[in-house]
Amino acid sequence: MGKGRSALFWELRQSIGQHKFTTSWDGEIISSMKGKKNPVYKSKDKKEARDLRIAGYGGCGKLTRPLLETLRVSFRERKRFQTAMNAFMQANVKTVCTASRDPVTKNIVLTYDFGGMRVSDGSLDEADVTATVDLETNKVMFSQEGTVIPGGLAREDDLLYGCMCTAVEDEKKVMKSLLVPLRERGESGSTSSAIPAGWNKAAMFVYAFAVSADGKYSSPSTRLYPPPTAEEIALAEAVEAF
C-alpha cells in the first residue's frame, strides 16, 4: 500500500487493473492492491471457518436497516467519516450473529443474540431507566428517577431514549424496532409506549441509552427487558473485577 499527494488530482477514487485508489480525509491518495476474487485455502476447514465468519458479519449487517431510526440518534461518538451503521457493526459484528452449518441440509443457519446487542455506545453514563412490560395490555412503561450522580459524565439535560425490538422469523427482515423518546436525565417520571400490533412478544427486547443535549456524546445501551439473568449478572461482575 502506498500514500502520496497528487498535483493533478484533488481526489481520486477509481480502480485501474489490480490497483485501487482512494482519498483519505486529509487529502492523501492511497494506492492498494485488490484482494483476490477467489482466495485459495490450505484446508476445507479454514475455508468453512471463513465462510461462516463472513455469513455472521452479513447477518449482523441485516440489523442496521430495521434499527435505522435508533441509529440516527445513538452512536454519537464516531470516528471521522464513520456512519452510525458502521459504528453499530463495529460494536456488534463479532457477537450479535453467529453462523453454523445445518448437518442435514448443509445450509448456513444464522443465530442472533439480541440480549447482548448494543444499540448505542459512548462515554456518557448509562441511562438510569427501568421498564415494565405488560404483555396482556401490550404496554411498555419506562420509568426514571431523575438521578444524576455528581462527578460522572452525566448531565441533567441529557436526553434519554428507549429502543424496543422484536425478532422476526424471516431471513430478509430478521427484526423490527421502535425508538421511544423519554425524558431528560434529571427529570423523574414515566413514559408509556404501546407494543406494535403483530409483534412477536415472546421474542421482544427493550433497551435504554442517553445522548447529550448537544448531540456530541452518547452512552452504552442497557438491556432492560428481559431483565439480566443471574448468570449474566455474575459474568458482568467478574469482568468488572478483572
- Residue 70: phi and psi, rounded to 5, are -75, -40
Question: Could you tell me which of 237, 242, 240, 221 has the C-alpha nearest to residue 87?
Answer: 221
In whole angstroms, give the CA distance from residue 210 to residue 222: 10
12-68 pLDDT per residue, tens: 445 565 566 665 655 566 666 665 566 666 778 888 889 999 999 999 999 999 999
Predicted TM-score of the model (pTM): 0.79
Ranges of the chain whose pLDDT falls below 70: 1-41, 170-171, 230, 232-242
Q: Cα separation of 169 and 172, whole Å?
A: 9
